[in-house]
Structure 1
Amino acid sequence: MTRPPVTDRPATEDSAPSHRSLDGLVLAPVADQAPGQVGTGTRFRYHERDGEVWAEYAGGDVVRGHLVGTRAGDRLDFRYVQLRRDGTTASGHCVSTVVELPDGRLRLEETWEWESQPGSGTSVVEQLPGDGR
């Protein structure tokens, strides 16, 4: 089954472009998704170098996950794969916009789609308070 491509969506009007590196930051979803997906208990540790981004993540219904992709300005484009607590695996594609919050933390506004199963949506992950650099 062919799915439409994920499209980038603009950052919110009150956000300014952020060129701060994601390297070493820990981010978490601001809301739970459906069971078996990332949720507020999931933590993403990001790495970034020379336009490449990658992260490890775990927590909640996710035992272990990895993402890898690229960054061009404030746009991330990556693929992800994860192992769930029920022993199943899943993979997908995500496009995110990096936004700097008024308090200086970073937020990723995400549009994602599963490639291993039906489903797509949007989500937001934010740098944890106190994880500043």
Structure 2
Amino acid sequence: MSEIVTPQILHALWVCLVIAIASASVSMTITQTELFVPVRAFTEKLGHMTGYLFKCFYCMNHWVVIAGMVCYHPRVIVSDYILVDWIVSTFFTITLSSYISGFMFKVFLTAMAKKQKEQEMHQAKSQSQQ
């Protein structure tokens, strides 16, 4: 009897999930944080497309996932067509990573809105005390 979910496929799913989480984190860190402002400024000077890549977490996410897939070669679908299996696994991982990036971006937006509200409340409080 043929198994639908083999240990090999479970391992590939785990590797895809780890690559997706790591790529979402790396992409958000490079494109959205103050730590990489000098790198983004430098890449902008290299050319429009290179600069855009370092500002777009969705775009950067694709390249980070592809790098992870080249290193680890997980195959979520196993058939006689290894290249097709790898491409499907890559886009599966990109999709997972995009959802994770979207969630992380929403968390960033919420944190920034909270910080802005705190600053507004502090300013209002200090103005009312004057």
TM-score range, shorter chain: under 0.3
Q: Per residue, is there more strand in 1 or in 2?
A: 1
Q: From the CA coordinates, give the structure whose radius of gyration is larger.
A: 2
Higher relative contact order at CA 8 Å, sep ≥6: structure 1 or structure 2? Answer: 2
Question: What TM-score do the two structures reach when normalised by structure 2?
Answer: 0.26
Q: Per residue, is there more helix in 1 or in 2?
A: 2
